[in-house]
Structures are given as structure tokens and as C-alpha cells.
Structure 1
Amino acid sequence: MYMPKINTLEDITDILAFIDRFSFGILISINQNRVIGTHIPILSNKDPNKLKLHTHIALANNQWKEIKGQEVLVIFTEPHAYISPTNYLKEESVPTWNYMAVHIYGNVSILHEANQISDVMQRTMIKYEPEYYEKWLKLPDDFKDRMLKGIVTFEIDVTEIQAKAKLSQNKTQKEIDNIIEDLKDSQIPSYSLLAGYMDRYSKK
């Protein structure tokens, strides 16, 4: 990812919070000499010193068949918005796009042990719908076994993190304030979300 210094996000606490909030990411690897990706919920162990990611895909998805031992790329992204030049003080200005994204590289391994697979799925349920997890515990074991046999679960040992927050850091505070107000006035939810991040980081 193109990473100008001014847009680089280095605070690991912020990065971990971002990937936890926008956890529906893309797992990218090589399969049959082609780059492929799967959109999937991805968990982290939230350990800044030894970060690991966990995820799963359907057994019918061929991505897992050649993924063992690869360095994969996982992409997390969500709030983004078109930025109109009408927000700038200079007439000679052009449009752009503001966004936040985290790219994580890591070495992937397939989890084979039943307790490892179950742990990842339990954590996934607890994160997204703890009420369903309580129901899951009461379901018949043969049903749960069939469901778990239909997925492939991964652990990714993180080797590199690239985190980017392109939030008009090269503009004046007045222009940033103009953009924030413009985004807040939008009817697009992600624009308002981005405005919140811009407001936060412009005051750091």
C-alpha cells in the first residue's frame, strides 16, 4: 500500500481497535498461480507484541488448498468518502478521496485440532452475537460436528502491519473543519463515520 508518512497510522492501540471494529476483511493469497481473495470475518488476539489473526472459510472454497505456508495479505477497510474541492480555500484545487485502511501480512497455518477450530468459531459467535452462542451450546453435538467439518480454520502469525489514515492531513485546519461539516451533513452513514475519525485525528 502506498504509505506517505503524513498518512501513516502508527499507534498500535488505534490499529487494533480499527481491525476489531471493521473486522469483515479480505483474505488474499495465491491459488493456482492466481491472486484470489475471500471476504470473511477476521478476529485478532489483540496482542500488540505477538499479533495473531484467526478466520475461517467454507471447505468448498478452494482458497485453502494451497494456502498452507504462504505469506498472506489481510485487508481491513471501511469508512471512506469523496472529498469535494469546494471545501478548500484555494480555487485551484481538485477532488480526492479520504479513507482508512489496514493491510496485514502474515504467515498462515491451517488449524486441524477440533478444540482449535471450536475455539475460533466460539470467539466468532461471541463477538458478533453472544445470544446465538448460548443457543449453539445447546444444539445437538452431531449437528455442530457437521457444521464445523464444513469449514477450514486459519491462524495467521502477523509479520507486518501497514495502517493508513488519509484524512486531509495536508490541509489547513479550516479546510479540515469544512470537510468534517460537509461529511456530517451527508446522508451516507460511512461519511459521518469518517468525519468522526477526521475530527479525532485532526486534534492529536
Structure 2
Amino acid sequence: MRHTPSYIVTDPEEVKRLIRANPWATIVSNTAQGLIASHYPVMLDENAEGISVVSHVGRPDDRALELGEHEVMIIIQGPHGYVSPSWYDGKPAVPTWNHVTAHLYGTPEILSDDENWRVLSELVSHFEHEFPEPNLLEDNEEYGRRIMSGTVGFRMHVTRFEARAKLSQGKSPEIVENVMSELDHGAHYSQPDLAAEMRRVHDS
């Protein structure tokens, strides 16, 4: 990740917030067969010290990723989007891409079947609680446990992270306001979630 001091995020709480809001992650592993990437939802382990995530992969992804054998990188991609130079002040400028991203590093720990069941149940509950009548894994436990046998759960304590929030820092307040307005409700390339991230940075 490019090291631009004004964009670097060092606060672990901000990284936790990013994980909570953006659970769809990319797992990258440097294996004996070369780089392998897979995509799965992750959930923050709220009871752990520091930053720790839990998830699962479908078999045989655990073997392809060499899960538990060495360090992997998990990429969390937050809101992102195109920023046009036409949203600036008319002076010569080039387009850019604003984004919030975190790279998490650690060696996954393989979960027992009981722990995997608990994590899968919590993951389903986390998303199903939005519905008036949640469809929980434990409501169909026999079927759920049969499906679970095709998965491998893991916990990864994050030993280090690199995070970046590139959100038009260094631009004038007028330009920042115009970019946020375009992202909020412009006719082209609107990204309201990205505008909200910009407000978090520029209003603080």
C-alpha cells in the first residue's frame, strides 16, 4: 500500500469500524503454488484484545490457501469511488479515486467444530437480525451442521495492519464540499457512503 502520510490510518478502532461496516473480505495467501485469493465474509471478534477476525472457508479452499500454516493478508475494502477533476475549481487537475482500505496480516488459527458452529451461527444471526423473522442456523440445526462439515472455520489475530483513507485531504474546503456534494447526489458517479467517510475526516 502506498505510504502517503496524510492518508495513513493508525487507529485500531477505525480499522475495527471499517471491518464491522464492510464484512466482505479478500483473503490472500502466498502458497507453495503461488498467490491464491479467496473471498468470504469476516466478522470482528469483539471479545478479543486488539484486532481479531473470525470467518470460514469452504473446503478445499483451506488447503489451497494453506490456512493456518503461515501469514496471510485479509483485505477490507470500504467505500470507494471516482473523483472527477470537473468537481474541482477549474484549475488544471487530474482525476483520482478516493477510498478507505485496510490490509490485515496474521496467521489464521483453525477452529474446532464447536467453535466453527458458534461462529457460523453468529455470522448468520448478524445478518439475519435485520429481518422481522430471522432465519437462524440453529433453527435448522441438523441441516446446518451437515452443511458446516464442508467448511473450515478460522480466527486470525491481526499482528499488524496497513490502512489508508484517501479522502481529498489537502484540498480546499470549497473543493472538498463540492466533491462530497457530487458523491452524495450528483448525476455521475454518486457514492453516498464515500461522501459520509469524507465527512468523518473533514468534520473532525
Q: What TM-score results when the alignment is normalised by the length of structure 2?
A: 0.89
**Residue type at the aligned position of 2:186:** S
Contact 2:12–2:51 (Cα < 8 Å) also in 1: no
Secondary structure at the residue paired with 1:30? strand
Which stretches in structure 1 are left out of the alignment for 5+ residues? none
**Greater CA drift, 41-50 or 17-26:** 41-50
Alpha-carbon distance in structure 1 between the residues aligned to 2:77 and 2:66: 25
Change (3 A) 1:52 1:189: farther
Question: Does structure 2 conserve the Cα–Cα contact (< 8 Å) formed by 1:12 and 1:48?
Answer: no
1:120 corresponds in structure 2 to 119
Match of 1:138? Answer: 139
> Counterpart of 1:46 in 2: which secondary structure?
coil
Structure 2 unaligned segments of length 5 or more: list them.
none
**Contact 1:75–1:104 (8 Å) recurs in 2:** yes
Query: How do residues 99-114 of structure 1 correspond to structure 2 at under 5 angstroms?
Result: 99-111=99-111, 113-114=112-113
Match of 1:84?
A: 84
Question: Offset of 1:190 from its aligned partner?
Answer: 6.5
Distance across 1 between alignment mates of 2:190 and 2:63: 30
Partner deviation per Cα, 1:64-89 (whole Å, 9 max, x = no partner): 56222211100011311111112222
8 Å Cα contact 1:98-1:166 kept in structure 2 = yes
CA distance in 2, matches of 1:56, 1:45: 13
Indicate conservation of the 8 Å contact 2:52/2:155, yes or no: yes
Structure 2 counterpart of 1:13, one-letter code: E
Q: 1:12-65 CA deviation, whole Å, 9 max, x = no partner?
A: 222211111101111111233311111100011135743211111111335556
Aligned pairs for 1:1-204 (under 5 A) are 1-46=1-46, 49-61=49-61, 63-64=63-64, 66-89=66-89, 91-111=91-111, 113-130=112-129, 131-133=134-136, 136-141=137-142, 143-186=143-186, 191-204=191-204
4+ long deviations beyond 6 Å: none
| Normalised TM-score (structure 1) | 0.89
How far off its partner does 1:188 sit?
7.3
Q: 2:79, 2:100 within 8 Å by CA — same for their partners in 1?
A: yes
Q: Distance in 1 between matches of 2:191 and 2:152?
A: 35
- Distance in 2 (CA, whole Å) between partners of 1:71 and 1:87 is 42
How many Å apart are 1:171 and its aligned residue? 0.8
Which secondary structure does the structure 2 equivalent of 1:68 belong to?
coil
Distance in 2 (CA, whole Å) between partners of 1:47 and 1:62 is 25
Secondary structure of the corresponding residue to residue 168 of structure 1: coil
3-state SS of 2:79 partner: strand
Change (3 A) 1:11 1:188: farther
SS in 2 for 1:126: helix
| Letter of the 1:35 counterpart | L
Q: How far did residue 144 of structure 1 move?
A: 2.7
CA contact (8 A) 1:75 1:103 kept: yes
Aligned residues: 200
